[in-house]
Amino acid sequence: MRNFTSVYDIGDLKVALQKAFEIKKNRFGFSDLGKNKTLLLIFFNSSLRTRLSTQKAGMNLGMNTMVLDVNQGAWKLETERGAIMDGDKTEHLLEAIPVMGSYCDIIGVRSFARFENKEEDYSEKVLNEFIQYSGRPVFSMEAATRHPLQSYADLITIEEYKKTERPKVVLSWAPHPKALPQAVPNSFAEWMNTTDYEFVITHPAGYELDAQFAGKAKVEYDQKKAFEGADFIYAKNWAAFADPNYGKVLNKDRSWTVDSEKMALTNNAYFMHCLPVRRNMIVTDEVIESPQSIVIPEAANREISAQAVLMRLLEDNF
């Protein structure tokens, strides 16, 4: 594996899961693998879990880890080639990337969709420039269209908690005051579609995901019907994908909030969310604090997915 940007890079999911469980049993058993290797984590956007879990994973492997918040302390970066740089942007990303690459061995990048230009977002311009110009293996820490480290952790969590071989997993849109990217639901759908789980997506009309990610999932516009018999409810907000509403909030309908009444329709389902979550918009206090909520072990598995990916990058490239 040279880069990790989607489920297609990781190969056989059964092997990836075996590796994850091996790491979970013995996360400090590979501490020589990253010796004298430097991990650089670049954040164009905020983070709690990704920042900490990926640093921890690097430390478990004996790596030296550096973190750069591009918007706090670095020079303001221009991303458009051809721009006349007579404004407030001091450095071009096309110089910054190879310079960053010269100081490290592996680079993680977080760069969200900007919702200014759909084609630019969905072409993963920034992530691909890191792949093209850094000279280093690159992994996504959530890009414009996918969040594969999160989805890998979600898969590990489902495998740990599932009570049947082929659980019913429901991805449910839920309301949020601001426009959020489709990266988490896109990526979750892509990973779920790679398993043999029963996978259903429920959302109000107008929130259809890009078909390349929704894939073979059943789309059910009646949220309560979707919840019936579910083993896992994965809640998430996302902004509209389809034109002419790309990046827009079409409604904040709190009748889509995940509450105890809806959870009672399920097969005693576990509640999942990637976090951060807005309580009483996405999910009620009662549901997220219930014994069926597994959001904390789900977040803890981010360390495991990050370590599994870093191990593959170290093993395959050095």
Closer CB to ligand CP, 30 or 274, in the complex: 274
Q: Distances from the Cα of 302 to the Cαs of 24, 129, 147, 151, 159, in angstroms?
A: 11, 25, 11, 9, 14
Task: Give min distance, CB of 275 to ligand CP, in A.
Answer: 5
Helices (H), the chain: 7-10, 13-25, 49-60, 93-102, 118-122, 125-133, 148-161, 183-193, 211-214, 223-227, 260-263, 285-288, 295-317
Query: Applying CB under 6 A, does 50 fall inside the site for ligand CP?
Result: yes
Closer CB to ligand CP, 57 or 168, in the complex: 57
Query: Applying CB under 6 A, does 290 fall inside the site for ligand CP?
Result: no
Cis geometry, peptide bond prior to residue 297 (ω within 30 degrees of 0): no
What track of x and - describes contact with ligand CP for positions 173 through 212 (by CB under 6 A)?
----------------------------------------
Contact 259, 286 (CB under 8 A): yes
Residue 61 CA to residue 271 CA, distance in Å, equals 31
Closer CB to ligand CP, 29 or 276, in the complex: 276
Which stretch in 34-42, 46-54, 77-85, 132-140 sits in contact with ligand CP by CB under 6 A?
46-54
Query: Applying CB under 6 A, does 150 fall inside the site for ligand CP?
Result: yes
Task: Give min distance, CB of 149 to ligand CP, in A.
Answer: 8
Query: Applying CB under 6 A, does 48 fall inside the site for ligand CP?
Result: yes
Which stretch in 59-67, 117-125, 235-243, 272-280 sits in contact with ligand CP by CB under 6 A?
272-280
Neighbour-count burial for 92-113, b at 16+ CB within 10 Å, e otherwise: bbeebbeebbeebbbbbbbbbb
In the DSSP assignment, the letter for residue 264 is T
Which stretch in 42-50, 194-202, 282-290, 309-317 sits in contact with ligand CP by CB under 6 A?
42-50
Residue 231 CA to residue 31 CA, distance in Å, equals 37
Which stretch in 12-20, 84-92, 271-279, 282-290 sits in contact with ligand CP by CB under 6 A?
271-279
Closer CB to ligand CP, 30 or 232, in the complex: 232
**Sole binder of ligand CP in the list 17, 57, 97, 274 (CB under 6 A):** 274
Closer CB to ligand CP, 10 or 274, in the complex: 274
Contact 262, 290 (CB under 8 A): no
Contact 84, 24 (CB under 8 A): no
Binding site for ligand CP (CB under 6 A): 47-50, 142, 150, 274-276
